[in-house]
Chain A
Amino acid sequence: MTAMAEPEVGRARVRKEDERLITGRTRWTDNIALPGLVHMAFLRSPTAHARITAIDTSAAKEMPGVIAVYTGDDLDPGGEVGMPNAWPITPDQKTPRRPMLAQGTVNFAGEAVAVVIARSAAEAEDALAEIDVDYDDLPVVLGVDDAVADGAPLVHEDMGTNTSAEWIFDSAEAGSGGDVQQAISSSEVVVTRRFRQQRLVPAFMEPRSVVVDPTAPQLTMWSATQVPHILKTMVAMTLGLPEHQVRVIAPDVGGGFGGKLAVTPEECAAVVVAQKLGKPVKWTESRSETMVSAHHGRDQMQDITISASRDGTITGLKVDLLADMGAYLGIVGGGVPVLGAFMFNAIYKIPAYRFSCTTVFTNTTLTDAYRGAGRPEATFAIERIMDELAAELGMDPMELREKNWIKHDEFPYTTVSTLTYDSGNYEAATAKAMQLFDYDGLRREQRERRERGDRVQLGIGISTFTEMCGLAPSRVLGSLDYGAGGWEHAAIRMLPTGKVEVVTGASPHGQGHETAWSQIVADQLGVGFDDIEILHGDTQSSHKGLDTYGSRSLTVGGIAVVKAAEKVIAKARKVAAHLMEASEDDLEFADGKFTVRGTDTSTAIQDVALAVFAAHDLPEGVEPTLDSEAVFDPENFSFPHGTHLCATEVDTETGRVRLRSYVCVDDIGKVINPLIVEGQMHGGLAQGVAQALFEEAVYDEFGTLTSGTFADYLVPSTMDLPSFTTDRTETAATSNPLGVKGVGEAGTIASTPAVVNAVVDAVRHHGVDDIEMPLSPMRVWRAVHKGDAAAGGPGAEAGGGLGSIDSAHGGAQ
C-alpha cells in the first residue's frame, strides 16, 4: 500500500464470497458426503393435537433400504430430553418439554413422530408411508384470545394453563417515567387500537439440513445454522455430551432471518441416531417441512393506547401484548416480544409508559426470532398509532412526530423504557427523505385525486423508526434473565508470507462478513484486501463465539476484530522497534508500515511477521507471535434510525395496492461497504413490505397450515416491488470505535408500518382507520366499501348493490 491508498472502509466492494455462492462452487450442508452416510426422514403429525395411542413401525422396517425406524421412546426412553429455552422471561415461566420426537401427545401439525433411517433419502421417504400411528384427537387450541379464555382447552394439560409467562414494565415502578393510567385519564386525547401481527414464515432460501459424523471421538455436526457456537454448547448440554467432544460446522448457509437461530429436535435426533447406529447420518428437509416445522415469526395481538394533549404532545403510552408462542418455547421464545418492550416508545419523548406481555401456548408451530424479533412488531404499533393520533388531532403526521421526537441536541437521551440512545439526528434524516420523496408534491396530487373522485387514490405513509442493534451488552442480557452474554470474539493470525487469517465468532449466512471484515482488517493492519482470509463457522477453527442475529455481527464482532488488530500492532511495534534499532515511542504506524518518526526508515508489518516467524532476533522476553485475540462486550446497544416514506396507489374498485414510490433515509452510522448496506436495505424492505401486503401463515380450524407451500404463502418477487430510493445520513455511534450501528434489520422493521399507513391514508376519506395485515385486495376493497356504507354512501342500502354482501364475510378478513 502507498501512503495515498484509499481506505477500504467505505468502498463499495463486490463481495468476495459471491462468486462461489452464485456459481454454486461451494459446499452447503446437503452437499456433504461421507463414507457410509445414511439418510433420515421424519414422519410428521398430520393433526394439531392428539394423544398417540400406538405407533407400529414393523412394516416400515421391512421396506427396501431401511436400516432402522425409531420413535420418541426409542431415542429417549426416559422422556428426559427437551430442546433448550435459553430465555426464561420470568422466574415462574412455564416451559413445556419439547421432545426430539413426540412422546405421548402431538401438539402441532408437523411435529415429528418417528424417524426412518435408510441407505438413501428416497428409501427413507418411501418408508414413512408404512408407519402406522393411531391418534386420539384432543381439542385444538388456536388464537391467543381463545387460548387465554376461561375454560379454554389446554395445549399442555399438565401445566393447567395456556399462559407461559407475563412480563411487565412500568415506568412508574422503574422510576423512568410517570404512571400511565393517570396520564391517560387526565389527557385531552386518547386513541386506542388493536393491531394484529400476523404469523410469518422466515422463508430462508436454503432449507435446513444437518449431517452428523459420530465415527471419531470428537463428534462432528454440520448444520445449516446461524448459531454453530450456541448449537455446540446447547447440543452438549441437551444430550449430556462432553462439550469438548462436539464440533459444529456451519458451512456456507443460505439465509436464516432468525429462522436458523435455533436448536432443533431434528439436529438432536440426528446426533442420537448417529450414535446409536455408529454411522454418519444426514437429514435435509423439504420446503413443505420447513413451512410446518421450522419456527415461525411474529403472531401477536397488540392492544395499544396513546394519550396526548390537544397540541399533539404525547402524555402516555400503554401496551398489552398477547404473544402466540405456538406449542413450545424455542431457544429465545418469550424473549422476542419482550425485546419489543424497549422499542414501543421509539424515537419519542414519552413521559409515562406501561408494557405487559403475556406469552401463550396454542396448537401451532412454535414462533421465535424472525428478522427484527420484537422490534418490527413494536415499531409497527407505535408508527401506526402515531398516524391514527395525527388523524384524530387533524395534524400532519410528520408534524406530530417532529413535535415529539428527541431533538438532535438532546442526545445522549435516556428513554422512558430506560435505554440510553447515544446519538441520532432525526431532523436530518427526515429533511433529506422529505425532499427525495417530494412530500409536498405527493400531498398535492393526493388532494387532486380525492377531489376528482379518481378510482385510484393516493396515500402517503410515514415510519420514523429506531431500533436497538448489537445484541447485546452482557449485563443487560443478565438483567433480562437471558441465559448467556452478548460479547463476541475475534482472532488474527499473521502468517509468515505476510498474509492474514482472521477468525470471527460471528457466523455469516448471507451477510457478507468475509468482505466487510477484510475491509476493516485491511485498514487496521495496512495489508491488502485480497491478502486476508476470514475463517468462521467451524467451532474447531473459530473456537469461541456467539454467532449472528440481532444486527450484532458488525457492532460487536466487527469491533472484536478491531481490538484484535490493535493487539497485533502493539506486538509488532515492539519487534519493529527492535529491528530498526529505534525506540517504540518514536514509531508511527500507518498504511501497514512502522516508520521512525522524522526519518525514511521503515519496516512493513509483513516483514515484522516474517521476522517473528523466524524468531532469530527478537527483543528480550517477546514471544515469537503476533497472533492476537480479543473479546468485545459492548457497553450499550447501538441505535440506527431512519425516515421511511411510502406512496401507495389504491385501486378502490378492486382493492389492489400498488407501491408508487418508496424513499428511505437511514442513519446506520459509519458504513463499511455501501454495496452490502444497499443489499441489506433492499432485502429488508422487501420482507417488511411482504408483511404489510402479502405474507401470512394461515391455520384452518383444525390447526392445519393452509399456506403450506409458496403457492399459498406469498413471498413477493421484484415484479411486486417498486424501485426503492435509498439514501443515508451518517451520525456516528459513540458506543464503538468504528461508529457503526448495524443494518441487518432496519428495512424490515421500518417498512411495514410505512406501507400500511400509506394504504390507510389513501382511503381514510372512505371512513377507513385500519386494515388488517396482510392488506390483500379483498381486505382493502371490503374496508373501502364498509367505510362507504358506514358513511351512508353507496352500498348503505340493504340489499342494494355492494350492500348485499354477506355480513358473515364482511369486514377485514
Chain B
Amino acid sequence: MIPAPFDYVAPSTVDEAVRALADAGEDAKVLAGGQSLLPVLRMRLAAPTTVVDLGKIGELKGVRDEGDAVVIGAMTTHYDVQRDPLVHDHALLLARATDTVADPQVRHRGTFGGSLAHADPAGDLLAPALALDAEMVVQGTGGRRTVSAAEFFQDFFTTSLAPEDILVEVRVPKHTGWSAHYEKFNRVAQAWSMVAVAATVRAEGGTIAEARIGLTNMASIPVRATAVEQALVGRSADAETIRAAAEHAAEGTSPTVDGNADVEYRQHLAKVLTGRAVESAMAG
C-alpha cells in the first residue's frame, strides 16, 4: 500500500496550479482532499508522474453570497459546506446530502469540488448539484469558463475537465425556502450509495409549485428524474400523487450491476426511494 513514486507540486494560486498541470502533461493528477485519490494511489490503480496539491490555495476555499447564487469554493470541505448558513438557507438539498457523506473524518478532509471532479456516480453530491442546476467555474490555460452540471458530468469518473483544467468554484442558484431531502440507501452506514434520491421542492399552500429530483448511481452520471418532476408540479402534495409520480423514477436510467444490486432492483429502489424522498422533503 505504498504509492508509486511521483513528483509533488503545491502551488499557492490557481494560475500556478493550471501552469503546473500544463507543464506536467497528461499523467498529472490533482489532489484536493485526497479521499478518493490517495486510496487509488496506494493501491497503485493510478501512477501519476506529478501530483498537484490544491491544499495551499486559499482562494479555493469558502462560501460566498453572489446575489442570485451561493458560490462554493472547490476546496471547501464537506464539513464546512454542512455548517454554512448560506448553503443551509439557499441550497438546503446540498446540506442534507453532505450530511450523509461518509464519516466525520472524511467530511473534514474531503472537498465539495474534489467530489464533483472525481465524478463517481455513487458519490452523493453529484445528483444534488444537478438537481440544483449548479454551474462549474473552470479555469484552464485559456482562462475561466462556466459549465453547467448537465454538461460537466460525462461518464463514469469522467467530466468535461481537460487535463490542465481546475474546478475553481461552483455557483449554486439560490433555492431559498425550498424544502429538501436526500434519501440514501446503502448496505452499511459507511458505504457508498447503492441508490440515492435528491429531492427539493417549493410548495405553495398544499400545492407543489416546483420540484427538482436527482438520482445517484442510476447511470454512469447523475440523472435528473424529469418525468417525476413533471408529474408533481401543480399537483397537491398528497400521498397518492407522490406515489404515482415516483413510478416514473426509473425512466431513462441505466444503472450498473454489482454484488449489491442488479438493474431491476436498482430501478425498483429508485421508485420507492423517490417517493420517500419527496414525502420527507414535503414534511420539511
Contact count A vs B, C-beta below 8 Å: 62
Given the known inter-chain contacts A776-B260, A778-B260, please indicate yes or no for A653 contacting B272, CB distance below 8 A: yes
Query: Does A720 contact B188, Cβ atoms closer than 8 Å?
Result: yes
A694 sits at the interface (CB 8 A):
yes
B189 sits at the interface (CB 8 A):
yes
B261 sits at the interface (CB 8 A):
yes
Give the CA-CA distance A473 to B133 in the complex, in Å.
71
Q: Which of B16-24, B57-65, B86-94, B263-271 contacts A (4 or more CB under 8 A)?
A: B263-271
Query: Does A805 contact B190, Cβ atoms closer than 8 Å?
Result: no
Q: Which of B1-9, B109-117, B143-151, B227-235 contacts A (4 or more CB under 8 A)?
A: B1-9
* Nearest chain A CB to B284 CB, angstrom units: 22
B191 sits at the interface (CB 8 A):
yes
Interface residue tally of chain A, by bracket? 20 to 34
Give every chain A residue within 8 A of B272 (Cβ-Cβ): 653-654
* Nearest chain A CB to B147 CB, angstrom units: 29
Q: Which of B5, B190, B192, B269 contacts A654 (CB 8 A)?
A: B269
A796 sits at the interface (CB 8 A):
no
Give the CA-CA distance A653 to B262 in the complex, in Å.
16
A549 sits at the interface (CB 8 A):
no
For window 235-278 of B, CB contacts with A under 8 Å fall at 259-262, 264-265, 268-269, 272-273
* Nearest chain A CB to B114 CB, angstrom units: 17
Query: Does B188 contact A781, Cβ atoms closer than 8 Å?
Result: no
Q: Which of A380-388, A624-632, A705-713 contacts B (4 or more CB under 8 A)?
A: A705-713
Give the CA-CA distance A716 to B191 in the complex, in Å.
10
Question: What is the 8 Å Cβ interface bit string for chain B, positions 1-45, against chain A (1 contact, 0 not)?
Answer: 110110000000000000000000000000000000000001100
Q: Which of A98-106, A118-126, A174-182, A401-409 contacts B (4 or more CB under 8 A)?
A: A118-126
Q: Which of B185, B190, B262, B264 contacts A656 (CB 8 A)?
A: B185
Interface of B is mostly: loop
Query: Does A711 contact B192, Cβ atoms closer than 8 Å?
Result: yes
Q: Which of A706, A711, A719, A802 contacts B268 (CB 8 A)?
A: A802
Given the known inter-chain contacts A698-B259, A712-B259, please indicate yes or no for A719 contacting B185, CB distance below 8 A: no
Q: Taking CB as reference atom, which chain A residue is nearest B192?
A: A711
Q: How many residues of B contact A (CB 8 A)?
A: 24
* Nearest chain A CB to B193 CB, angstrom units: 12
Question: What is the 8 Å Cβ interface bit string for chain A, positions 712-730, against chain B (1 contact, 0 not)?
Answer: 1011110110000000000
Give the CA-CA distance A711 to B189 in the complex, in Å.
12
Given the known inter-chain contacts A694-B187, A706-B259, please indicate yes or no for A778 contacting B2, CB distance below 8 A: no
A541 sits at the interface (CB 8 A):
no
Q: Taking CB as reference atom, which chain B residue is nearest A41?
A: B2
Query: Does A720 contact B189, Cβ atoms closer than 8 Å?
Result: yes
Give the CA-CA distance A786 to B39 in the complex, in Å.
40
Q: Which of A653, A717, A804, A809 contacts B190 (CB 8 A)?
A: A717
Query: Does A719 contact B265, Cβ atoms closer than 8 Å?
Result: no
Give the CA-CA distance A250 to B189 in the complex, in Å.
34
Query: Does A714 contact B265, Cβ atoms closer than 8 Å?
Result: no
For window 88-140 of A, CB contacts with B under 8 Å fall at 121-122, 125-126, 129
Query: Does B187 contact A805, Cβ atoms closer than 8 Å?
Result: no
Q: Taking CB as reference atom, which chain B residue is nearest A709?
A: B43
Query: Does A717 contact B261, Cβ atoms closer than 8 Å?
Result: no
A739 sits at the interface (CB 8 A):
no
Query: Does B4 contact A781, Cβ atoms closer than 8 Å?
Result: no
Give every chain B residue within 8 A of A706 (Cβ-Cβ): 259
Give every chain B residue within 8 A of A716 (Cβ-Cβ): 188-189
Give the CA-CA distance A47 to B170 in the complex, in Å.
44
Q: Taking CB as reference atom, which chain A residue is nearest B269?
A: A654
Query: Does B5 contact A781, Cβ atoms closer than 8 Å?
Result: no
Q: Which of B4, B191, B194 contacts A126 (CB 8 A)?
A: B4
A185 sits at the interface (CB 8 A):
no
Given the known inter-chain contacts A656-B185, A717-B189, please indicate yes or no for A806 contacting B259, CB distance below 8 A: no
Give every chain B residue within 8 A of A714 (Cβ-Cβ): 187-188, 191
Q: Which of A653, A694, A805 contacts B188 (CB 8 A)?
A: A694
A286 sits at the interface (CB 8 A):
yes
A13 sits at the interface (CB 8 A):
no
A287 sits at the interface (CB 8 A):
yes
Give the CA-CA distance A67 to B36 in the complex, in Å.
33
A288 sits at the interface (CB 8 A):
yes
Give the CA-CA distance A782 to B261 in the complex, in Å.
11
Give the CA-CA distance A805 to B268 in the complex, in Å.
10
A777 sits at the interface (CB 8 A):
yes
Query: Does B261 contact A287, Cβ atoms closer than 8 Å?
Result: no
Give the CA-CA distance A625 to B265 in the complex, in Å.
73
Given the known inter-chain contacts A653-B272, A806-B264, please indicate yes or no for A719 contacting B189, CB distance below 8 A: yes
Question: What is the 8 Å Cβ interface bit string for chain A, positions 687-711, against chain B (1 contact, 0 not)?
Answer: 0000000100010000000110101
* Nearest chain A CB to B106 CB, angstrom units: 13
Give the CA-CA distance A125 to B269 in the complex, in Å.
43
Residues of chain A whose beta carbon lies under 8 Å from any beta carbon of chain B: 121-122, 125-126, 129, 286-288, 653-654, 656, 694, 698, 706-707, 709, 711-712, 714-717, 719-720, 776-778, 781-782, 802, 804-806, 809
Of the A-B pairs whose beta carbons lie under 8 Å apart in the complex, a sample of 13, sorted by A's number, is: A121-B2, A654-B269, A698-B259, A709-B43, A711-B191, A714-B191, A717-B190, A719-B189, A720-B188, A776-B260, A778-B260, A778-B261, A781-B265
Which 8 A-B pairs give the minimum distances between C-beta atoms?
Answer: A719-B189, A286-B1, A122-B2, A778-B265, A714-B188, A125-B2, A653-B272, A720-B188
Taking A122-B5, A286-B1, A778-B265 as known contacts, 16 extra A-B pairs with beta carbons closer than 8 A to each other, sorted by chain A number, are A121-B2, A126-B2, A126-B4, A654-B185, A654-B273, A694-B188, A698-B259, A711-B191, A715-B188, A716-B189, A717-B188, A719-B189, A719-B190, A720-B188, A776-B260, A804-B264
